[in-house]
Structure 1
Amino acid sequence: MRGRRRFRTTAAAVALCCAAALAGCTAADGPEAGRPAARPAPRPTPVWDVSPGSLAAVGDSITRAFDACTVLADCPEVSWATGTDAGVNSLALRLLGPAGVAGRSWNLARTGARMAELPEQMTAAAARRPELVTVMMGANDACRATPAEMTPVAAFRASFEAALARLRAGAPKAQVYVSSLPDLRRLWETGRVSPMAGRVWQLGVCGAMLRDPADVSPAAERRRTAVRDRVVAYNEVLAEVCAKDARCRYDGGAVFGFRFDGAQLSPWDFFHPSRDGQARLAELAYRGITREE
Protein backbone atom coordinates (compact mmCIF):
# COMPACT_ATOMS: atom_id res chain seq x y z
CA MET A 1 0.00 0.00 0.00
CA ARG A 2 2.76 2.39 0.92
CA GLY A 3 4.50 1.56 -2.41
CA ARG A 4 1.33 2.30 -4.39
CA ARG A 5 0.90 5.67 -2.63
CA ARG A 6 4.53 6.59 -3.44
CA PHE A 7 3.93 5.63 -7.09
CA ARG A 8 0.77 7.76 -7.35
CA THR A 9 2.55 10.74 -5.74
CA THR A 10 5.52 10.42 -8.09
CA ALA A 11 3.24 10.11 -11.13
CA ALA A 12 1.30 13.22 -10.13
CA ALA A 13 4.53 15.20 -9.75
CA VAL A 14 5.73 14.08 -13.17
CA ALA A 15 2.41 15.07 -14.72
CA LEU A 16 2.60 18.54 -13.16
CA CYS A 17 6.15 19.07 -14.45
CA CYS A 18 5.09 18.02 -17.95
CA ALA A 19 2.17 20.43 -17.89
CA ALA A 20 4.47 23.18 -16.65
CA ALA A 21 6.96 22.44 -19.43
CA LEU A 22 4.24 22.72 -22.07
CA ALA A 23 3.22 26.08 -20.64
CA GLY A 24 6.75 27.40 -20.57
CA CYS A 25 7.48 26.21 -17.04
CA THR A 26 8.00 29.73 -15.61
CA ALA A 27 5.81 31.67 -13.25
CA ALA A 28 6.50 34.86 -15.20
CA ASP A 29 4.48 33.58 -18.16
CA GLY A 30 1.23 33.87 -16.20
CA PRO A 31 -2.17 32.63 -17.22
CA GLU A 32 -1.87 33.98 -20.81
CA ALA A 33 1.13 31.78 -21.63
CA GLY A 34 0.57 29.43 -24.53
CA ARG A 35 -2.21 31.51 -26.13
CA PRO A 36 -1.77 32.91 -29.67
CA ALA A 37 -0.30 36.44 -29.78
CA ALA A 38 -2.91 39.15 -30.26
CA ARG A 39 -3.01 40.73 -33.72
CA PRO A 40 -1.97 44.41 -33.86
CA ALA A 41 -4.86 46.81 -34.00
CA PRO A 42 -5.56 48.10 -37.53
CA ARG A 43 -4.26 51.59 -38.25
CA PRO A 44 -7.03 54.18 -38.30
CA THR A 45 -8.06 55.56 -41.67
CA PRO A 46 -6.46 59.00 -42.16
CA VAL A 47 -8.92 61.84 -41.71
CA TRP A 48 -7.35 63.95 -44.46
CA ASP A 49 -8.10 62.90 -48.05
CA VAL A 50 -5.40 64.06 -50.47
CA SER A 51 -7.70 63.70 -53.49
CA PRO A 52 -11.05 65.37 -52.70
CA GLY A 53 -13.71 65.16 -55.40
CA SER A 54 -15.25 68.63 -55.13
CA LEU A 55 -14.11 72.09 -54.04
CA ALA A 56 -15.63 75.34 -52.82
CA ALA A 57 -13.44 78.45 -52.52
CA VAL A 58 -14.22 81.28 -50.09
CA GLY A 59 -12.32 84.49 -49.59
CA ASP A 60 -11.72 87.90 -51.11
CA SER A 61 -10.28 89.58 -54.21
CA ILE A 62 -7.24 87.32 -54.34
CA THR A 63 -9.42 84.27 -54.90
CA ARG A 64 -11.51 86.24 -57.42
CA ALA A 65 -8.26 87.08 -59.28
CA PHE A 66 -9.02 90.80 -59.18
CA ASP A 67 -6.80 92.89 -61.49
CA ALA A 68 -5.14 89.77 -62.87
CA CYS A 69 -6.49 90.10 -66.43
CA THR A 70 -7.91 93.62 -66.79
CA VAL A 71 -7.91 96.71 -64.62
CA LEU A 72 -10.44 96.95 -61.79
CA ALA A 73 -12.20 93.70 -62.64
CA ASP A 74 -12.43 90.14 -61.33
CA CYS A 75 -10.97 87.43 -63.55
CA PRO A 76 -12.11 84.15 -61.95
CA GLU A 77 -10.95 82.10 -64.93
CA VAL A 78 -7.37 82.58 -63.67
CA SER A 79 -8.17 82.12 -59.99
CA TRP A 80 -5.62 80.00 -58.12
CA ALA A 81 -8.50 78.04 -56.55
CA THR A 82 -11.10 77.36 -59.24
CA GLY A 83 -9.82 78.87 -62.49
CA THR A 84 -10.06 77.18 -65.86
CA ASP A 85 -6.91 78.72 -67.38
CA ALA A 86 -4.46 75.94 -68.23
CA GLY A 87 -1.49 78.25 -67.75
CA VAL A 88 -2.44 78.92 -64.14
CA ASN A 89 -3.32 75.25 -63.56
CA SER A 90 -5.60 76.02 -60.64
CA LEU A 91 -6.15 73.82 -57.65
CA ALA A 92 -9.48 72.66 -59.08
CA LEU A 93 -7.85 71.72 -62.39
CA ARG A 94 -5.17 69.73 -60.58
CA LEU A 95 -7.59 67.91 -58.27
CA LEU A 96 -10.68 67.50 -60.46
CA GLY A 97 -9.45 67.73 -64.04
CA PRO A 98 -10.96 69.98 -66.74
CA ALA A 99 -14.25 68.08 -66.78
CA GLY A 100 -14.72 68.38 -63.04
CA VAL A 101 -14.07 72.10 -62.66
CA ALA A 102 -17.40 73.25 -64.13
CA GLY A 103 -19.67 70.99 -62.12
CA ARG A 104 -17.73 70.28 -58.93
CA SER A 105 -16.03 73.55 -58.00
CA TRP A 106 -17.53 76.84 -56.85
CA ASN A 107 -15.89 80.24 -56.35
CA LEU A 108 -17.87 81.94 -53.57
CA ALA A 109 -15.29 84.62 -52.73
CA ARG A 110 -16.10 88.32 -53.02
CA THR A 111 -13.75 91.17 -53.84
CA GLY A 112 -13.49 93.49 -50.85
CA ALA A 113 -14.68 90.91 -48.30
CA ARG A 114 -13.32 90.89 -44.76
CA MET A 115 -13.29 88.12 -42.17
CA ALA A 116 -16.67 89.23 -40.79
CA GLU A 117 -18.23 88.01 -44.06
CA LEU A 118 -16.67 84.55 -43.91
CA PRO A 119 -19.50 82.92 -41.89
CA GLU A 120 -21.94 83.88 -44.64
CA GLN A 121 -19.66 82.51 -47.34
CA MET A 122 -19.18 79.30 -45.36
CA THR A 123 -22.94 78.84 -45.13
CA ALA A 124 -23.12 79.08 -48.92
CA ALA A 125 -20.24 76.61 -49.24
CA ALA A 126 -21.82 74.11 -46.85
CA ALA A 127 -25.01 74.10 -48.93
CA ARG A 128 -23.03 72.58 -51.81
CA ARG A 129 -21.59 69.80 -49.60
CA PRO A 130 -18.06 70.06 -51.00
CA GLU A 131 -15.36 67.62 -50.00
CA LEU A 132 -12.86 70.48 -49.71
CA VAL A 133 -13.22 74.17 -48.84
CA THR A 134 -10.31 76.55 -49.41
CA VAL A 135 -10.04 79.71 -47.31
CA MET A 136 -7.94 82.77 -48.16
CA MET A 137 -9.35 85.67 -46.17
CA GLY A 138 -8.06 88.51 -44.03
CA ALA A 139 -5.90 90.78 -46.17
CA ASN A 140 -8.66 93.40 -46.25
CA ASP A 141 -8.83 93.34 -42.45
CA ALA A 142 -5.26 94.64 -42.39
CA CYS A 143 -5.43 96.76 -45.53
CA ARG A 144 -7.35 99.70 -44.13
CA ALA A 145 -6.66 103.39 -44.59
CA THR A 146 -4.82 103.56 -41.25
CA PRO A 147 -3.61 100.98 -38.71
CA ALA A 148 -6.28 102.17 -36.27
CA GLU A 149 -8.97 100.90 -38.64
CA MET A 150 -7.64 97.34 -38.82
CA THR A 151 -9.93 94.60 -37.52
CA PRO A 152 -9.14 93.77 -33.88
CA VAL A 153 -7.57 90.34 -33.45
CA ALA A 154 -10.35 89.17 -31.10
CA ALA A 155 -13.03 90.06 -33.65
CA PHE A 156 -11.03 88.34 -36.40
CA ARG A 157 -10.85 85.18 -34.28
CA ALA A 158 -14.55 85.24 -33.43
CA SER A 159 -15.53 85.52 -37.10
CA PHE A 160 -13.23 82.69 -38.16
CA GLU A 161 -14.52 80.42 -35.40
CA ALA A 162 -18.11 81.23 -36.37
CA ALA A 163 -17.30 80.45 -40.02
CA LEU A 164 -15.96 76.98 -39.21
CA ALA A 165 -18.98 76.33 -36.99
CA ARG A 166 -21.29 77.24 -39.88
CA LEU A 167 -19.46 74.83 -42.17
CA ARG A 168 -19.57 72.03 -39.63
CA ALA A 169 -23.32 72.51 -39.14
CA GLY A 170 -24.00 72.02 -42.84
CA ALA A 171 -21.09 69.90 -44.07
CA PRO A 172 -19.52 68.15 -41.05
CA LYS A 173 -17.09 66.03 -43.09
CA ALA A 174 -15.82 68.75 -45.42
CA GLN A 175 -12.06 69.33 -45.34
CA VAL A 176 -10.81 72.87 -44.93
CA TYR A 177 -7.52 74.19 -46.29
CA VAL A 178 -6.58 77.58 -44.83
CA SER A 179 -4.00 79.76 -46.56
CA SER A 180 -1.94 82.22 -44.57
CA LEU A 181 -2.12 85.91 -45.41
CA PRO A 182 0.68 87.33 -47.56
CA ASP A 183 3.41 89.45 -46.03
CA LEU A 184 2.17 92.93 -46.97
CA ARG A 185 5.42 94.55 -45.96
CA ARG A 186 7.29 92.41 -48.47
CA LEU A 187 4.87 93.64 -51.16
CA TRP A 188 5.81 97.20 -50.21
CA GLU A 189 9.50 96.31 -50.39
CA THR A 190 9.00 94.79 -53.84
CA GLY A 191 6.97 97.60 -55.37
CA ARG A 192 8.27 100.74 -53.70
CA VAL A 193 11.12 101.11 -56.19
CA SER A 194 8.62 101.44 -59.06
CA PRO A 195 7.45 105.01 -59.79
CA MET A 196 4.28 103.60 -61.36
CA ALA A 197 3.49 101.54 -58.27
CA GLY A 198 3.96 104.60 -56.08
CA ARG A 199 1.47 106.61 -58.14
CA VAL A 200 -1.10 103.82 -58.11
CA TRP A 201 -0.74 103.15 -54.39
CA GLN A 202 -1.39 106.80 -53.66
CA LEU A 203 -4.93 106.26 -55.00
CA GLY A 204 -5.75 104.26 -51.90
CA VAL A 205 -4.40 100.72 -52.31
CA CYS A 206 -3.85 99.28 -48.81
CA GLY A 207 -3.14 102.72 -47.36
CA ALA A 208 -2.03 101.53 -43.94
CA MET A 209 0.93 99.77 -45.54
CA LEU A 210 1.47 101.30 -48.98
CA ARG A 211 0.73 104.99 -48.53
CA ASP A 212 3.75 107.23 -49.22
CA PRO A 213 5.93 104.28 -50.27
CA ALA A 214 9.10 106.36 -50.47
CA ASP A 215 8.70 107.60 -46.90
CA VAL A 216 11.09 105.73 -44.60
CA SER A 217 10.77 108.06 -41.62
CA PRO A 218 10.39 106.53 -38.14
CA ALA A 219 6.66 107.29 -38.17
CA ALA A 220 6.17 105.54 -41.51
CA GLU A 221 8.19 102.55 -40.32
CA ARG A 222 6.07 102.29 -37.17
CA ARG A 223 2.94 102.34 -39.33
CA ARG A 224 4.18 99.55 -41.56
CA THR A 225 5.41 97.50 -38.61
CA ALA A 226 1.99 97.75 -36.98
CA VAL A 227 0.36 96.36 -40.13
CA ARG A 228 2.85 93.52 -40.45
CA ASP A 229 2.44 92.63 -36.77
CA ARG A 230 -1.31 92.47 -37.26
CA VAL A 231 -0.95 90.17 -40.26
CA VAL A 232 1.28 87.90 -38.16
CA ALA A 233 -1.35 87.90 -35.40
CA TYR A 234 -4.09 87.04 -37.90
CA ASN A 235 -2.03 84.12 -39.21
CA GLU A 236 -1.56 82.87 -35.66
CA VAL A 237 -5.34 82.93 -35.21
CA LEU A 238 -5.85 80.96 -38.43
CA ALA A 239 -3.33 78.35 -37.31
CA GLU A 240 -4.69 78.03 -33.76
CA VAL A 241 -8.37 77.79 -34.70
CA CYS A 242 -7.69 75.40 -37.56
CA ALA A 243 -5.62 73.12 -35.29
CA LYS A 244 -8.71 72.46 -33.17
CA ASP A 245 -10.56 70.92 -36.12
CA ALA A 246 -9.46 67.43 -37.19
CA ARG A 247 -10.48 68.14 -40.80
CA CYS A 248 -8.74 71.50 -41.10
CA ARG A 249 -5.22 72.02 -42.44
CA TYR A 250 -3.28 75.31 -42.26
CA ASP A 251 -0.62 76.01 -44.86
CA GLY A 252 2.06 76.52 -42.22
CA GLY A 253 2.78 80.05 -43.40
CA ALA A 254 3.52 79.09 -47.01
CA VAL A 255 1.80 82.11 -48.59
CA PHE A 256 3.17 84.48 -45.94
CA GLY A 257 6.69 83.26 -46.66
CA PHE A 258 6.42 83.32 -50.45
CA ARG A 259 8.43 86.11 -52.09
CA PHE A 260 6.24 87.58 -54.81
CA ASP A 261 8.38 89.42 -57.35
CA GLY A 262 7.33 92.09 -59.82
CA ALA A 263 6.18 89.58 -62.46
CA GLN A 264 3.85 87.96 -59.95
CA LEU A 265 2.04 91.21 -59.08
CA SER A 266 -0.72 92.87 -61.09
CA PRO A 267 0.63 95.37 -63.64
CA TRP A 268 -2.30 97.63 -62.77
CA ASP A 269 -2.18 97.87 -58.98
CA PHE A 270 1.16 96.21 -58.08
CA PHE A 271 -0.63 94.57 -55.17
CA HIS A 272 -2.91 91.71 -56.24
CA PRO A 273 -1.35 88.57 -57.75
CA SER A 274 -0.94 88.59 -61.51
CA ARG A 275 -1.77 85.57 -63.64
CA ASP A 276 1.70 84.23 -62.81
CA GLY A 277 1.17 85.00 -59.12
CA GLN A 278 -2.10 83.08 -59.19
CA ALA A 279 -0.23 80.10 -60.62
CA ARG A 280 2.24 80.23 -57.73
CA LEU A 281 -0.64 80.28 -55.22
CA ALA A 282 -2.20 77.25 -56.92
CA GLU A 283 1.09 75.37 -56.68
CA LEU A 284 1.51 76.17 -52.98
CA ALA A 285 -2.03 75.06 -52.18
CA TYR A 286 -1.74 71.83 -54.16
CA ARG A 287 1.43 70.88 -52.33
CA GLY A 288 -0.19 71.55 -48.96
CA ILE A 289 -3.38 69.65 -49.72
CA THR A 290 -1.77 66.57 -51.25
CA ARG A 291 0.98 66.26 -48.64
CA GLU A 292 0.78 62.88 -46.90
CA GLU A 293 1.02 62.90 -43.09
Structure 2
Amino acid sequence: MTNERTYSYLGPAGTFTEVALAQVPEAQGQTWKPVANVAQALADVTDGTSTGAILAIENTVDGGVSSVQDALAKSQGLRIVGEYLVPVSFVLVAPRGTRLDQVVDIAAHPVAYAQCLEWLGANIPGHTHVIAGSNVASAIGVLDGSLPAQAAIAAPGVVKHYDVDVLAEGIGDNADAVTRFVFVTRAVAPPAPTGSDKTSLIVELPREVPGALLEMLEQFATRGINLSLIQSRPIGDRLGRYRFIIDADGHIEDERMADALMGLKRFSPNVLFLGSYPRADRERVHPEPRYSDASFAAAREWLRGLRTP
Protein backbone atom coordinates (compact mmCIF):
# COMPACT_ATOMS: atom_id res chain seq x y z
CA MET A 1 0.00 0.00 0.00
CA THR A 2 1.12 3.56 -0.66
CA ASN A 3 0.13 6.96 0.63
CA GLU A 4 1.24 8.70 -2.57
CA ARG A 5 -1.22 11.32 -3.77
CA THR A 6 -1.65 13.22 -7.04
CA TYR A 7 -2.43 16.92 -7.42
CA SER A 8 -3.51 18.54 -10.69
CA TYR A 9 -2.47 21.98 -11.90
CA LEU A 10 -2.58 23.91 -15.16
CA GLY A 11 0.64 23.04 -16.91
CA PRO A 12 3.10 22.54 -18.33
CA ALA A 13 5.83 22.93 -15.73
CA GLY A 14 6.99 26.48 -15.13
CA THR A 15 3.61 28.19 -14.77
CA PHE A 16 2.44 30.47 -11.97
CA THR A 17 0.03 27.68 -11.04
CA GLU A 18 2.97 25.40 -10.33
CA VAL A 19 4.37 28.10 -8.03
CA ALA A 20 1.04 28.17 -6.18
CA LEU A 21 0.97 24.39 -5.82
CA ALA A 22 4.43 24.55 -4.26
CA GLN A 23 2.81 26.45 -1.35
CA VAL A 24 0.31 23.67 -0.55
CA PRO A 25 1.77 21.74 2.40
CA GLU A 26 0.03 18.42 1.70
CA ALA A 27 1.23 18.43 -1.92
CA GLN A 28 4.89 18.43 -1.01
CA GLY A 29 6.69 15.23 -1.99
CA GLN A 30 3.65 14.00 -3.93
CA THR A 31 2.91 13.62 -7.65
CA TRP A 32 2.08 16.82 -9.53
CA LYS A 33 0.03 16.31 -12.66
CA PRO A 34 0.03 19.10 -15.29
CA VAL A 35 -3.25 19.36 -17.19
CA ALA A 36 -4.34 21.41 -20.19
CA ASN A 37 -7.46 23.13 -18.86
CA VAL A 38 -9.65 23.89 -15.86
CA ALA A 39 -12.26 21.27 -16.73
CA GLN A 40 -9.65 18.51 -16.68
CA ALA A 41 -8.26 19.66 -13.34
CA LEU A 42 -11.71 19.58 -11.71
CA ALA A 43 -12.61 16.29 -13.41
CA ASP A 44 -9.47 14.73 -11.93
CA VAL A 45 -10.65 15.67 -8.45
CA THR A 46 -14.25 14.61 -9.06
CA ASP A 47 -13.33 11.13 -10.31
CA GLY A 48 -10.61 10.60 -7.72
CA THR A 49 -7.67 10.68 -10.12
CA SER A 50 -6.26 13.55 -8.08
CA THR A 51 -6.63 14.40 -4.42
CA GLY A 52 -6.82 18.10 -5.18
CA ALA A 53 -6.32 20.78 -7.82
CA ILE A 54 -4.96 24.32 -7.71
CA LEU A 55 -6.63 26.97 -9.86
CA ALA A 56 -6.21 30.71 -10.44
CA ILE A 57 -9.45 32.44 -9.54
CA GLU A 58 -8.63 36.15 -9.19
CA ASN A 59 -5.97 38.65 -10.25
CA THR A 60 -5.39 42.18 -8.98
CA VAL A 61 -5.07 43.45 -12.56
CA ASP A 62 -7.70 41.47 -14.49
CA GLY A 63 -10.18 40.61 -11.73
CA GLY A 64 -11.95 37.27 -11.51
CA VAL A 65 -10.95 34.36 -13.73
CA SER A 66 -14.29 33.68 -15.40
CA SER A 67 -13.41 30.23 -16.76
CA VAL A 68 -12.68 28.95 -13.24
CA GLN A 69 -15.73 30.64 -11.71
CA ASP A 70 -18.01 29.16 -14.37
CA ALA A 71 -16.48 25.70 -14.00
CA LEU A 72 -16.98 25.74 -10.22
CA ALA A 73 -20.59 26.84 -10.69
CA LYS A 74 -21.28 23.71 -12.74
CA SER A 75 -19.30 21.27 -10.60
CA GLN A 76 -20.76 19.00 -7.97
CA GLY A 77 -19.24 17.64 -4.79
CA LEU A 78 -16.19 19.93 -4.65
CA ARG A 79 -14.89 22.24 -1.94
CA ILE A 80 -12.35 25.05 -1.71
CA VAL A 81 -10.19 24.27 1.33
CA GLY A 82 -7.43 26.85 0.95
CA GLU A 83 -6.14 29.86 -0.96
CA TYR A 84 -2.65 30.95 -1.95
CA LEU A 85 -1.21 34.17 -3.36
CA VAL A 86 1.49 34.40 -6.02
CA PRO A 87 3.15 37.69 -6.99
CA VAL A 88 3.00 38.07 -10.77
CA SER A 89 6.15 39.13 -12.60
CA PHE A 90 7.31 38.42 -16.12
CA VAL A 91 10.60 37.83 -17.91
CA LEU A 92 11.50 38.12 -21.57
CA VAL A 93 13.25 34.94 -22.68
CA ALA A 94 14.83 33.76 -25.93
CA PRO A 95 16.97 30.95 -27.35
CA ARG A 96 20.59 31.01 -26.22
CA GLY A 97 22.64 33.70 -27.88
CA THR A 98 19.74 36.00 -28.80
CA ARG A 99 20.26 39.73 -28.19
CA LEU A 100 17.49 42.16 -27.27
CA ASP A 101 18.16 44.27 -30.39
CA GLN A 102 17.40 41.19 -32.52
CA VAL A 103 13.87 40.84 -31.19
CA VAL A 104 11.09 41.92 -33.53
CA ASP A 105 8.32 39.39 -32.86
CA ILE A 106 7.31 38.46 -29.30
CA ALA A 107 5.27 35.41 -28.35
CA ALA A 108 2.98 35.91 -25.36
CA HIS A 109 -0.34 34.89 -23.87
CA PRO A 110 -2.75 37.83 -24.37
CA VAL A 111 -3.16 38.45 -20.62
CA ALA A 112 0.60 38.49 -20.02
CA TYR A 113 1.13 40.69 -23.06
CA ALA A 114 -1.44 43.22 -21.84
CA GLN A 115 0.38 43.45 -18.50
CA CYS A 116 3.72 44.28 -20.18
CA LEU A 117 2.67 46.90 -22.73
CA GLU A 118 4.44 49.85 -21.14
CA TRP A 119 7.78 48.06 -20.93
CA LEU A 120 7.45 46.71 -24.47
CA GLY A 121 6.55 50.13 -25.84
CA ALA A 122 9.58 51.70 -24.19
CA ASN A 123 12.12 48.97 -25.02
CA ILE A 124 10.89 47.26 -28.22
CA PRO A 125 8.55 49.84 -29.75
CA GLY A 126 8.31 48.24 -33.21
CA HIS A 127 7.56 44.70 -32.07
CA THR A 128 4.77 42.40 -33.24
CA HIS A 129 2.70 40.29 -30.84
CA VAL A 130 2.48 36.57 -31.64
CA ILE A 131 -0.35 35.00 -29.62
CA ALA A 132 0.51 31.95 -27.50
CA GLY A 133 -1.82 29.66 -25.56
CA SER A 134 -0.04 30.11 -22.24
CA ASN A 135 3.03 31.71 -20.69
CA VAL A 136 5.00 28.49 -20.96
CA ALA A 137 3.70 27.73 -24.45
CA SER A 138 5.15 31.04 -25.61
CA ALA A 139 8.64 29.98 -24.51
CA ILE A 140 8.28 26.48 -25.93
CA GLY A 141 7.06 27.87 -29.25
CA VAL A 142 10.08 30.14 -29.56
CA LEU A 143 12.46 27.33 -28.69
CA ASP A 144 11.04 24.69 -31.04
CA GLY A 145 10.20 27.10 -33.85
CA SER A 146 6.46 26.48 -33.81
CA LEU A 147 5.83 30.20 -33.14
CA PRO A 148 7.28 32.84 -35.48
CA ALA A 149 8.95 34.92 -32.78
CA GLN A 150 12.46 35.61 -31.49
CA ALA A 151 11.51 36.05 -27.83
CA ALA A 152 8.72 35.19 -25.40
CA ILE A 153 7.07 36.66 -22.33
CA ALA A 154 6.97 34.01 -19.61
CA ALA A 155 6.83 33.43 -15.87
CA PRO A 156 10.23 33.45 -14.12
CA GLY A 157 9.87 29.74 -13.30
CA VAL A 158 10.31 28.85 -16.97
CA VAL A 159 14.09 29.13 -16.61
CA LYS A 160 14.10 26.10 -14.29
CA HIS A 161 12.67 23.86 -16.99
CA TYR A 162 13.85 25.22 -20.35
CA ASP A 163 17.22 26.23 -21.81
CA VAL A 164 16.70 29.93 -22.43
CA ASP A 165 18.48 33.24 -22.04
CA VAL A 166 16.72 35.89 -19.97
CA LEU A 167 16.83 39.14 -21.93
CA ALA A 168 14.98 41.20 -19.32
CA GLU A 169 13.41 40.67 -15.89
CA GLY A 170 10.51 42.39 -14.17
CA ILE A 171 8.91 43.60 -17.39
CA GLY A 172 5.38 43.74 -15.98
CA ASP A 173 3.79 47.17 -15.76
CA ASN A 174 2.29 46.60 -12.28
CA ALA A 175 4.82 45.71 -9.62
CA ASP A 176 2.00 44.92 -7.16
CA ALA A 177 0.21 42.38 -9.38
CA VAL A 178 -0.87 39.26 -7.48
CA THR A 179 -2.85 36.21 -8.52
CA ARG A 180 -5.03 34.39 -6.02
CA PHE A 181 -5.28 30.61 -6.34
CA VAL A 182 -7.76 28.25 -4.68
CA PHE A 183 -7.05 24.68 -3.64
CA VAL A 184 -10.00 22.40 -4.47
CA THR A 185 -10.74 18.89 -3.16
CA ARG A 186 -13.75 16.61 -3.07
CA ALA A 187 -16.40 17.75 -0.58
CA VAL A 188 -15.13 17.53 2.99
CA ALA A 189 -15.95 19.27 6.23
CA PRO A 190 -14.51 22.81 6.16
CA PRO A 191 -11.20 23.35 7.95
CA ALA A 192 -11.66 24.56 11.52
CA PRO A 193 -12.18 28.33 11.89
CA THR A 194 -9.02 30.31 12.57
CA GLY A 195 -10.44 33.81 13.03
CA SER A 196 -8.89 34.69 9.68
CA ASP A 197 -11.24 32.97 7.26
CA LYS A 198 -13.13 33.41 4.04
CA THR A 199 -16.33 31.80 2.73
CA SER A 200 -16.95 31.43 -1.00
CA LEU A 201 -20.43 31.10 -2.49
CA ILE A 202 -22.28 31.23 -5.78
CA VAL A 203 -25.79 32.68 -5.54
CA GLU A 204 -28.57 33.13 -8.11
CA LEU A 205 -31.29 35.74 -7.79
CA PRO A 206 -34.76 34.20 -7.42
CA ARG A 207 -36.39 36.59 -9.87
CA GLU A 208 -35.64 39.67 -11.94
CA VAL A 209 -37.43 42.37 -9.95
CA PRO A 210 -36.32 45.77 -8.63
CA GLY A 211 -34.36 45.38 -5.42
CA ALA A 212 -33.53 41.67 -5.79
CA LEU A 213 -29.78 42.27 -5.75
CA LEU A 214 -30.14 44.61 -2.77
CA GLU A 215 -32.09 41.95 -0.89
CA MET A 216 -29.30 39.44 -1.53
CA LEU A 217 -26.63 41.86 -0.31
CA GLU A 218 -28.67 42.69 2.79
CA GLN A 219 -28.28 39.08 3.95
CA PHE A 220 -24.63 39.99 4.56
CA ALA A 221 -24.90 43.67 5.45
CA THR A 222 -27.45 43.16 8.23
CA ARG A 223 -25.13 40.60 9.84
CA GLY A 224 -21.97 42.71 9.62
CA ILE A 225 -20.26 40.57 6.98
CA ASN A 226 -17.83 42.20 4.58
CA LEU A 227 -17.68 40.99 0.98
CA SER A 228 -14.17 40.95 -0.47
CA LEU A 229 -15.42 39.83 -3.89
CA ILE A 230 -18.72 39.99 -5.71
CA GLN A 231 -18.80 39.35 -9.43
CA SER A 232 -21.65 38.55 -11.81
CA ARG A 233 -21.48 35.80 -14.42
CA PRO A 234 -24.22 34.96 -16.96
CA ILE A 235 -26.19 31.82 -16.19
CA GLY A 236 -26.57 31.21 -19.91
CA ASP A 237 -30.22 30.21 -20.20
CA ARG A 238 -31.39 33.64 -21.37
CA LEU A 239 -30.31 37.27 -21.48
CA GLY A 240 -30.39 39.19 -18.22
CA ARG A 241 -29.92 36.14 -15.96
CA TYR A 242 -26.84 36.19 -13.76
CA ARG A 243 -25.28 34.32 -10.88
CA PHE A 244 -23.03 36.03 -8.35
CA ILE A 245 -19.65 34.77 -7.19
CA ILE A 246 -19.12 35.95 -3.62
CA ASP A 247 -16.24 35.88 -1.15
CA ALA A 248 -17.36 36.82 2.35
CA ASP A 249 -15.14 37.46 5.37
CA GLY A 250 -15.79 34.78 7.97
CA HIS A 251 -16.38 31.05 8.46
CA ILE A 252 -19.50 28.91 8.24
CA GLU A 253 -18.99 28.08 11.93
CA ASP A 254 -19.36 31.78 12.79
CA GLU A 255 -22.89 32.53 13.99
CA ARG A 256 -23.21 35.57 11.73
CA MET A 257 -22.13 33.60 8.64
CA ALA A 258 -24.38 30.64 9.40
CA ASP A 259 -27.31 33.02 9.87
CA ALA A 260 -26.52 34.75 6.57
CA LEU A 261 -26.36 31.42 4.73
CA MET A 262 -29.77 30.45 6.09
CA GLY A 263 -31.11 33.82 4.96
CA LEU A 264 -29.65 33.27 1.48
CA LYS A 265 -31.19 29.81 1.27
CA ARG A 266 -34.62 31.21 2.09
CA PHE A 267 -34.10 33.94 -0.49
CA SER A 268 -32.49 32.14 -3.43
CA PRO A 269 -33.42 28.93 -5.28
CA ASN A 270 -29.75 28.14 -5.89
CA VAL A 271 -27.01 28.73 -3.34
CA LEU A 272 -23.75 26.84 -3.91
CA PHE A 273 -21.44 26.69 -0.89
CA LEU A 274 -17.89 26.44 -2.22
CA GLY A 275 -16.16 26.36 1.13
CA SER A 276 -14.86 28.13 4.24
CA TYR A 277 -11.08 28.23 4.53
CA PRO A 278 -8.17 30.25 5.98
CA ARG A 279 -7.34 33.54 4.26
CA ALA A 280 -4.00 33.55 2.49
CA ASP A 281 -3.02 36.87 4.05
CA ARG A 282 -3.93 35.60 7.55
CA GLU A 283 -5.56 38.95 8.30
CA ARG A 284 -7.96 38.48 11.19
CA VAL A 285 -11.64 39.32 10.82
CA HIS A 286 -12.96 41.50 13.64
CA PRO A 287 -16.77 41.77 13.62
CA GLU A 288 -18.45 44.49 15.62
CA PRO A 289 -19.59 43.32 19.08
CA ARG A 290 -23.25 43.07 18.04
CA TYR A 291 -22.28 40.53 15.36
CA SER A 292 -20.12 38.32 17.59
CA ASP A 293 -21.00 34.70 18.36
CA ALA A 294 -21.71 35.71 21.96
CA SER A 295 -24.19 38.34 20.78
CA PHE A 296 -26.08 35.80 18.67
CA ALA A 297 -26.13 33.33 21.58
CA ALA A 298 -27.46 36.01 23.94
CA ALA A 299 -30.19 36.94 21.46
CA ARG A 300 -31.29 33.29 21.23
CA GLU A 301 -31.45 33.00 25.00
CA TRP A 302 -33.50 36.20 25.17
CA LEU A 303 -35.96 34.79 22.58
CA ARG A 304 -36.13 31.45 24.44
CA GLY A 305 -37.06 33.32 27.56
CA LEU A 306 -39.88 35.12 25.76
CA ARG A 307 -41.28 31.83 24.49
CA THR A 308 -41.09 30.02 27.83
CA PRO A 309 -41.61 32.56 30.65
Whether TM-score is above 0.5 comes out as no
Larger radius of gyration: 1
Give the structure-2-normalised TM-score: 0.30
What TM-score, normalized by structure 1, do the two folds share? 0.31
